């Protein structure tokens, strides 16, 4: 068989059932092999960026490695934002690109680009395959690298002549992903610190979801009476309606999460890097507290916040070994305090904002098992603060890179991977960036309800202009009079709109029922002055949380 056939066979070895991509000159042979093989579903997106985000959404929703294809040159460069998004959020992804043949390499040939050079800083590793005999093992290694340790994207650039070259293929069984067992001896000091803690608190990051440690986090919380706060990437680490869950922490964290973080004496950080959106002031964040960090990536230990105790290991493996060493604390003053923080917070969440009403209603009306996907900006933070997520991988959002335009592709990927309904919470700014993928969603009959928070502005940037730039709204007004209902319909999706709180429940009920047949866009016409609060300014301490623009 030829190199292209070897590639398809190796993908099948790895259990790949769906590929997101876009064909072109240097991947013709790969697409031909895909066609002849016929065993893998290919989702043709509108743009390669959409394919990368879809593969990312597929991976986040399923826990499997996402795969995308693109041709050389512009096809490959269009993947870059998607690969970088996956890299920043540690999502396992294998991107396959074609490149010109060896005879044309380095001559600035048509659609030639050094995509391995371009993607060095945004991949865990990348390969350029120049010899067909190395192809099979390269593909196998790529999957192993993407899905082991701290997960992340890997790119394989395959020269055109390699795709057509003949070689022998011998099937192989994929290597098992192993993570080292954790020795309980190593955890004695950590266990002692937690047992001694009066006000312990869990800070759960994306590592909890990636390692499948969610039930263990709940057990830890139960046993030691630790409230759970999470980063954006950690949403879903415990059900949002769990009594000890205080919600998201950090810049736009809930009041309860922030108060509890201030009061805590021991912070148990699980699979998180203490990004600048969490430890806004990295030097003072840990003042007077004991920091315990469980982290699989050694380079993240002590990178942003210095830990007092740490273990370099998988979160699930660590918690399995740690739990038996911990003393049970069924009731104490800290639990009571947490309950008070929570009830005070719940009271202050009644806002009257239309955006809030839409998100609250979506939680209520979406079918069981719906996955929430967001874009980036105000709507993302409203969703993170308010959307009740009940299980891991039920919330998908671009955290580290903050990629506007991520959502629609990711929702398509999440739908294709799980078959479950997706609620995409987006804004008019983000939707405008990659709205072409609505055509893809229609073609897939994807059950996606798009809640378009349409305020005619770039809401989050505008909010910062209010807080930091004295209301000078430089280039953040988008009002272009787009008829989103007609736009959706023109692409074959259903279009609805919401103008007031009275419409919300009725319209969303209809949206979720229509979504059984394909994507539905709901144009939610919200005010451009709905803001995201509470807020802690960059570099500030947790005690400087503001609740209104006027507090600034």
Partner 1 sequence: MAEEKKYFIGALVSNKSGVLTRISGLFTRRGYNIESLNVCATENPDISRMTIILKGDDYVLYQMIKQMDKLEDVKKIGCANELDCVYRDLLLVKVKALPEVRSQIVEIKDIYKAKVVDLSPDTMILELTGDPEKLDAFLKVITPYGILEMQRAGVIALARGEHTLKDRDCYGDHIG
- Residue 86 or 256: the one with the smaller Cβ distance to partner 1 is 86
Q: Rule CB under 8 A: choose which of 36, 41, 103, 120 binds partner 1.
A: 120
Burial class (CB in 10 A: 0-12, 13-18, 19+), 389: buried
End-to-end, the C-alpha distance of the chain in Å comes to 67
Supply the minimum distance, in Å, between the C-beta of residue 297 and partner 1: 7
Residues 300-339 as x/- pattern, contact with partner 1 by CB under 8 A? -xxx------------------------------------
- Residue 128 or 488: the one with the smaller Cβ distance to partner 1 is 128
Using a CB cutoff of 8 Å and minimum separation of 24, what contacts does 141-146 make?
142/94, 143/14, 143/65, 143/94, 143/174, 144/174, 144/175, 144/177, 146/65, 146/92, 146/93, 146/94
Supply the minimum distance, in Å, between the C-beta of residue 305 and partner 1: 12
Instruction: Name the residue among 451, 426, 454, 439 with its Cα closest to residue 518.
Output: 439
Q: Binding-site residue total for partner 1 (CB under 8 A)?
A: 13
Count each helix (H run) and each strand (E run) in the chain, helices first: 22, 18
Burial class (CB in 10 A: 0-12, 13-18, 19+), 171: exposed
| Segment lying near partner 1 (by CB under 8 A), choices 117-125, 181-189, 234-242, 473-481 | 117-125
Q: Three-state DSSP class for 356?
A: helix
Distance of CA 361 to the CA centre of its chain: 23
Q: Is 48 a catalytic residue?
A: yes
Supply the minimum distance, in Å, between the C-beta of residue 183 and partner 1: 14
Decide if residue 106 touches partner 1 (CB under 8 A).
no
Supply the minimum distance, in Å, between the C-beta of residue 179 and partner 1: 16
Of 124, 160, 289, 329, the catalytic one is: 160
Supply the minimum distance, in Å, between the C-beta of residue 490 and partner 1: 43
d(CA 281, CA 378): 22
Give the full edge-to-edge strand order of the sheet including 18-21: 41-44, 18-21, 66-70, 93-99, 153-159, 125-129
- Residue 117 or 538: the one with the smaller Cβ distance to partner 1 is 117
Q: Rule CB under 8 A: choose which of 60, 64, 124, 393 binds partner 1.
A: 124
Decide if residue 125 touches partner 1 (CB under 8 A).
yes
Supply the minimum distance, in Å, between the C-beta of residue 144 and partner 1: 10
Of 14, 48, 88, 535, the catalytic one is: 48
CA-CA-CA-CA dihedral for 390, 393, 399, 403, to nearest 10: -120
d(CA 251, CA 541): 10
- Residue 29 or 157: the one with the smaller Cβ distance to partner 1 is 157
Q: Rule CB under 8 A: choose which of 81, 90, 116, 254 binds partner 1.
A: 116
Cβ(493)–Cβ(441) below 8 Å: yes
Q: Rule CB under 8 A: choose which of 38, 107, 108, 121 binds partner 1.
A: 121
Contacts for 168 with CB less than 8 Å, ≥ 6 apart: none
Contacts for 287 with CB less than 8 Å, ≥ 6 apart: none
Supply the minimum distance, in Å, between the C-beta of residue 161 and partner 1: 18
Q: Is 460 a catalytic residue?
A: yes
| Segment lying near partner 1 (by CB under 8 A), choices 116-124, 215-223, 280-288, 389-397 | 116-124
10-29 binders of partner 1 (CB under 8 A):
none
Decide if residue 505 touches partner 1 (CB under 8 A).
no
- Residue 76 or 422: the one with the smaller Cβ distance to partner 1 is 76
Q: Rule CB under 8 A: choose which of 131, 276, 284, 297 binds partner 1.
A: 297
d(CA 346, CA 524): 24
Decide if residue 145 touches partner 1 (CB under 8 A).
yes
- Residue 25 or 149: the one with the smaller Cβ distance to partner 1 is 149
Q: Is 110 a catalytic residue?
A: yes
d(CA 403, CA 354): 24
- Residue 122 or 493: the one with the smaller Cβ distance to partner 1 is 122
- Residue 298 or 479: the one with the smaller Cβ distance to partner 1 is 298
H or E element: which one contains 81?
Answer: helix 80-88
Of 111, 219, 320, 337, the catalytic one is: 111
Residues that bind partner 1 (CB under 8 A): 116-117, 120-121, 124-125, 145, 297-299, 301-303
Which residues are annotated as catalytic?
48, 110-111, 160, 460
């Amino acid at each position: 068989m030829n190199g292209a056939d070897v590639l398809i066979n190796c993908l099948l070895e790895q259990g790949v059932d769906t590929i997101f991509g876009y064909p072109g000159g240097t991947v013709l042979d790969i697409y031909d092999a895909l066609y002849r093989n016929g065993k893998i579903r290919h989702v043709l997106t509108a743009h390669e960026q959409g394919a990368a985000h879809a593969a990312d959404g597929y991976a986040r929703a399923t826990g499997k490695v996402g795969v995308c294809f693109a041709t050389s040159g512009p096809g490959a460069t269009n993947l870059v934002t998607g690969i970088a998004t996956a890299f920043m959020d540690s999502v396992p992804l294998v991107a396959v690109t074609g490149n010109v043949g060896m005879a044309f390499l380095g001559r600035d040939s048509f659609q030639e680009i050094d995509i391995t050079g371009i993607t060095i800083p945004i991949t865990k590793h990348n390969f350029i395959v120049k010899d067909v005999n190395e192809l099979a093992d390269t593909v196998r290694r790529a999957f192993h690298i993407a899905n082991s340790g701290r997960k992340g994207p890997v790119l394989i650039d395959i020269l055109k002549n390699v795709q057509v070259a003949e070689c022998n293929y011998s099937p192989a069984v994929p290597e098992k992903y192993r993570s080292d067992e954790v020795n309980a001896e190593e955890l004695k000091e950590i266990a002692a610190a937690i047992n001694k803690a009066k006000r312990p608190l869990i800070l759960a990051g994306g590592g909890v979801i990636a390692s499948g440690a969610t039930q263990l986090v709940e057990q830890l919380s139960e046993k030691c009476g630790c409230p759970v706060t999470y980063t954006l990437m950690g949403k879903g680490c415990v059900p949002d309606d769990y009594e000890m869950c205080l919600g998201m922490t950090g810049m736009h964290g809930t009041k309860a999460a922030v108060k509890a973080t201030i009061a805590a004496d021991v912070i148990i950080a699980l699979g998180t890097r203490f990004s600048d959106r969490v430890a806004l002031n990295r030097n003072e964040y840990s003042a007077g507290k004991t920091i315990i960090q469980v982290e699989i990536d050694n380079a993240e230990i002590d990178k942003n916040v210095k830990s007092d105790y740490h273990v370099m290991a998988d979160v699930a493996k660590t918690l399995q070994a740690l739990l038996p060493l911990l003393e049970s604390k069924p009731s104490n003053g800290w639990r009571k305090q947490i309950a008070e923080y929570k009830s005070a917070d719940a009271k202050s969440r009644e806002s009257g904002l239309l955006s809030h009403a839409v998100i609250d209603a979506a939680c209520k009306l979406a079918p069981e098992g719906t996955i929430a996907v967001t874009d980036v900006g105000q709507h993302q933070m409203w969703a993170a603060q308010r959307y009740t997520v009940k299980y891991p991988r039920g919330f998908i959002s671009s955290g580290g890179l903050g990629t506007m335009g991520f959502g629609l592709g990711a929702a398509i990927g999440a739908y294709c991977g799980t078959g479950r309904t997706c609620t995409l919470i987006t804004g008019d700014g983000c939707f405008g960036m990659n709205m072409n993928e609505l055509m893809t969603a229609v073609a897939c009959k994807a059950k996606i309800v798009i809640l378009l928070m349409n305020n005619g502005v770039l809401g989050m940037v505008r909010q910062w202009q209010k807080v930091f730039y004295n209301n000078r709204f430089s280039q953040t007004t988008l009002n272009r009079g787009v008829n989103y209902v007609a736009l959706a319909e023109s692409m074959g999706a259903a279009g609805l709109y919401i103008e007031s709180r009275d419409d919300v429940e009725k319209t969303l009920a209809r949206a979720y029922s229509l979504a059984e047949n394909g994507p539905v866009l709901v144009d939610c016409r919200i005010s451009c002055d709905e803001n995201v609060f509470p807020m802690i300014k960059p570099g500030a301490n947790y005690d400087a949380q503001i609740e209104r623009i006027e507090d600034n």
